[in-house]
Amino acid sequence: MGSVGYWRSNVRIILAISVAFAAVPVLAKGHPHRSGGNHEVSGYVRSNGTYVTPHIQKNPNATKLDNYSTKGNINPYTGKAGTVEPYAMKPTQNPH
């Protein structure tokens, strides 16, 4: 292989490594709408006028068992134990 071919090969390797390292922080942070991890929720006012303070929330997924408010779990940010039964029926829910 000539010196030009050798140089091009090395440039491609260096470029590939640079792109891989640049992607690490993006991949490590995660996407706010993918399962796993957390995301920040800004404060907002509910339709009934109640203000909800900003907070950290688990990303949506297919289970209710890993929510911070679920009985058996502890919120790592507040230290509060969960109190919600994960599969309890709400009064307005009808199983049929």
Give me the domain span that covers residue 2: 1-30
Quick check: 58 and 66 in contact, CB under 8 A?
yes
Q: Give tens-digit pLDDT for 3-18.
A: 666 667 777 888 778 7
* pLDDT of 96 above 90: no
Q: Please report the DSSP string for 40-75 in residue order.
A: EE--EE-TTS-EE--EEEEPP-S-STT-TTBTT-B-
The model's confidence at residue 24, banded by pLDDT at 50, 70 and 90, is low
Average pLDDT over residues 84-91: 82
Measured CA to CA, the distance from residue 60 to residue 32 in angstroms comes to 9
Average pLDDT over residues 63-80: 88
Question: 3-state DSSP: the chain helix, strand, coil percent, rounded to 5?
Answer: 30, 15, 55
Query: Is 6 inside any structural domain?
Result: yes
Query: Is 91 inside any structural domain?
Result: no
* pLDDT of 60 above 60: yes
Average pLDDT over residues 20-38: 58
Number of domains composing the chain: 1
> What per-residue confidence (pLDDT) applies to 2?
60
Query: Is 63 inside any structural domain?
Result: no
Query: Is 61 inside any structural domain?
Result: no
